[in-house]
Chain A
Amino acid sequence: MTLQQEAARRPRGVQHISTGRRVKDRFVQGLVYLAFAMAVVPLVSVLWLVISNGLARFDLEFMTHSMRGIGARDAGGGAYHAIIGTVEQVLLASAISVPIGLLTAIYLVEYGNGGRLSRAISFFVDVMTGVPSVVAGLFILAFWILFLGMPYSGWAGAMALSILMMPTVVRSTEEMLRLVPADLREASYALGVPKWRTIMKIVLPTAFTGIVTGVMLAVARVAGETAPILLTVFFTDSINNDPFSGPQMGLPLYVFDQAARPNDTAIDRAWTGALTLILIVMLLNLVARLIAWWRAPAKGR
């Protein structure tokens, strides 16, 4: 179609917007798509490199052996001690932060009534979200190890991690509790059930899956933290199953340690450690999201 025909077909009255405006609109659209692509490229690149480089040592020895007796340039060795350490530290951290976080969220939603204390807590929970993980580690170092004179241990690491978990648990639990409809609570009060039993029997069970999702996401986050355990767990090349005595290892710390060693066998182990770590973290994330999806229809009622 020629330009004249095109122009003739176009209604006289309805003018086109100026080319400048149209070009700008398209241009911005291009930029926005580009921004998204630029954000996804590193994710793909990271995942790809971790998988392709990590598979080389992703073997049984890696999963079942520690680094004990492995010389500076030796191949072999594994991350069993680190995996055990991470699992124990994360479980202990959850054991500390989940009760405190849950109760704090219950206070904020059910008892706070927007008073001064509850506003202060709410504000500092937000601020706590921004505490750098290395500072959490330094705090436990200063308080537990230097001030109280306790030894480096998995437990010390768990305390540092719990500081990072608490705000996340509080926020996600709070959000879930607020989703519980008020008439559900009122129906229970109307039956003469006291408030705390209503919370335990009605509110928490209703919000349960959401809370689990939030806790799992918090766990996924701290499972990958290196700096706090570097300062509190110290590290070791041997298996130490007891988180309450003596230095332990953690998977992220293992990756850091191996990555900083200047030889190829260590770098290989670092990649495999990274792959293991990413698998754990992504699995936790995925399961958390699946739980969230699974309960979504109930919310849509």
Chain B
Amino acid sequence: MSKQIQVSGLDAYYGAHKAIEDVSMTIEPRSITAFIGPSGCGKSTFLRTLNRMHEVIPGARVEGKVLLDGDDLYGASVEPVSVRRMIGMVFQRPNPFPTMSIYDNVAAGLRLNGRLPKSQLDGIVEESLKGANLWNEVKDRLTKPGAGLSGGQQQRLCIARAIAVKPQVLLMDEPCSALDPISTLAIEDLMAKLKDEFTIVIVTHNMQQAARVSDRTAFFNLAGQGQPGKVVEMDETSRMFTNPSQKATEDYITGRFG
């Protein structure tokens, strides 16, 4: 249930503006890869190109290749809809559907592919909520609105919703930046658990978080004002944080800029 992503020579544009340039990397299955870098250097943009969510933004386009276990995600006959089903996404701000109950939120993605028997649906919902470490907190109020949960619980609900459709990869764009430290810890624990099953990519501004949870880290940076973002360095997290090969990486990690 977990696949490798290979990116080569990827450029992304918003209209005429080139947001990222020539990104190549391999994202290993059953591991957590962290993206770090200063604001505006294209981390979110790159993350969105991995499941073609950038296509939602008018004028956004990419050049280059993204392979999921060797399959080209931008192949001529590949639909973005099916790509997103295999590569799930969790956003910066928790975004449960406000009109749906907790149960329906988790079941939302499952219901897209036709009706499942109630018992099976119940099973997957429970399994996903357990997977997101939320089951114990919500099992008595599954029919209550998802918007009534705390921010951290909502974010775990969104994770449950994303993993319910059994994706190969889970992309997370600053999933903890809107949360308090306790909730952040809960999500970090969850990520450590989820990586047994999923390929996880996380964008974070929190160096400690990257150091704590990730196996590999990529450092993005801008070459200069108005220039596209690039990957400066990518390596084992332990090496990146102790002994980076690039000066810019060291400066950023130690807080000398950004």
Query: Is A in direct contact with B (CB under 8 Å) within the complex?
Result: yes
Q: Contact between B77 and A13 (Cβ–Cβ < 8 Å)?
A: no
Q: Contact between B77 and A6 (Cβ–Cβ < 8 Å)?
A: yes
Complex CA distance for A9 and B75, rounded to whole angstroms: 9
Q: Contact between A14 and B113 (Cβ–Cβ < 8 Å)?
A: no
User: Using Cβ atoms and an 8 Å threshold, which residues of chain A touch B113?
Assistant: 18, 21
Q: Scan B1-15; emit 1 where CB is below 8 A from any A CB, else 0.
A: 001000000000000
Check if B79 is an interface residue, CB within 8 A of chain A. Answer: yes
User: Using Cβ atoms and an 8 Å threshold, which residues of chain A touch B78?
Assistant: 10-11, 14
User: Using Cβ atoms and an 8 Å threshold, which residues of chain A touch B76?
Assistant: 9
User: Using Cβ atoms and an 8 Å threshold, which residues of chain B touch A301?
Assistant: none
Q: Contact between B71 and A14 (Cβ–Cβ < 8 Å)?
A: yes
Q: Contact between A17 and B71 (Cβ–Cβ < 8 Å)?
A: no
Q: Contact between A14 and B81 (Cβ–Cβ < 8 Å)?
A: no
Check if A116 is an interface residue, CB within 8 A of chain B. Answer: no
Check if A299 is an interface residue, CB within 8 A of chain B. Answer: no
Check if B16 is an interface residue, CB within 8 A of chain A. Answer: no
Query: Which of A6, A9, A15, A20 is close to B82, meaning CB atoms less than 8 Å apart?
Result: A15
Q: Contact between A13 and B75 (Cβ–Cβ < 8 Å)?
A: no
Q: Contact between B71 and A12 (Cβ–Cβ < 8 Å)?
A: yes
Q: Contact between A10 and B82 (Cβ–Cβ < 8 Å)?
A: no
Complex CA distance for A12 and B113, rounded to whole angstroms: 19
Q: How many A-B residue pairs have CB under 8 A?
A: 42
Q: Contact between A10 and B77 (Cβ–Cβ < 8 Å)?
A: yes
Nearest-CB residue, chain B, relative to A7: B77
Complex CA distance for A292 and B169, rounded to whole angstroms: 49
B66 to chain A, nearest CB (A): 11
A292 to chain B, nearest CB (A): 24
Q: Contact between B77 and A17 (Cβ–Cβ < 8 Å)?
A: no
Q: Contact between B75 and A17 (Cβ–Cβ < 8 Å)?
A: no
Nearest-CB residue, chain A, relative to B87: A14
B106 to chain A, nearest CB (A): 20
Query: Which of A12, A13, A17, A20 is close to B81, meaning CB atoms less than 8 Å apart?
Result: A17
A16 to chain B, nearest CB (A): 6
Complex CA distance for A18 and B79, rounded to whole angstroms: 11
For chain A residues 85-112, which have a beta carbon within 8 Å of chain B? none
User: Using Cβ atoms and an 8 Å threshold, which residues of chain A touch B57?
Assistant: none
Query: Which of B75, B112, B114 is close to A14, meaning CB atoms less than 8 Å apart?
Result: B75
A24 to chain B, nearest CB (A): 11
A236 to chain B, nearest CB (A): 57
User: Using Cβ atoms and an 8 Å threshold, which residues of chain B touch A11?
Assistant: 68, 70-72, 75, 78
Q: Contact between A13 and B79 (Cβ–Cβ < 8 Å)?
A: no
A1 to chain B, nearest CB (A): 10
Complex CA distance for A18 and B81, rounded to whole angstroms: 11
Complex CA distance for A17 and B80, rounded to whole angstroms: 10
Q: Contact between A9 and B71 (Cβ–Cβ < 8 Å)?
A: no
Check if B165 is an interface residue, CB within 8 A of chain A. Answer: no
A14 to chain B, nearest CB (A): 5
Query: Which of A9, A12, A20, A21 is close to B77, meaning CB atoms less than 8 Å apart?
Result: A9
User: Using Cβ atoms and an 8 Å threshold, which residues of chain B touch A9?
Assistant: 75-77
For chain B residues 28-72, which have a beta carbon within 8 Å of chain A? 68-72
User: Using Cβ atoms and an 8 Å threshold, which residues of chain A touch B222?
Assistant: none
Ordered by A's residue number, 5 sampled pairs between the chains whose C-beta atoms are within 8 Å are A9-B77, A14-B71, A16-B77, A16-B82, A18-B113
Additional pairs, 17, CB under 8 Å, beyond known A11-B72, A16-B77: A6-B77, A9-B75, A10-B78, A11-B71, A11-B78, A12-B71, A13-B3, A13-B70, A13-B71, A14-B71, A14-B82, A14-B83, A16-B82, A17-B79, A17-B85, A21-B112, A21-B113
Using a CB–CB cutoff of 8 Å, the interface residues on chain A facing chain B are 6, 9-18, 20-21
- The 3 A-B residue pairs with the shortest CB-CB distance, nearest first, are A11-B71, A13-B71, A10-B77
Using a CB–CB cutoff of 8 Å, the interface residues on chain B facing chain A are 3, 68-73, 75-79, 81-83, 85-86, 112-114, 168
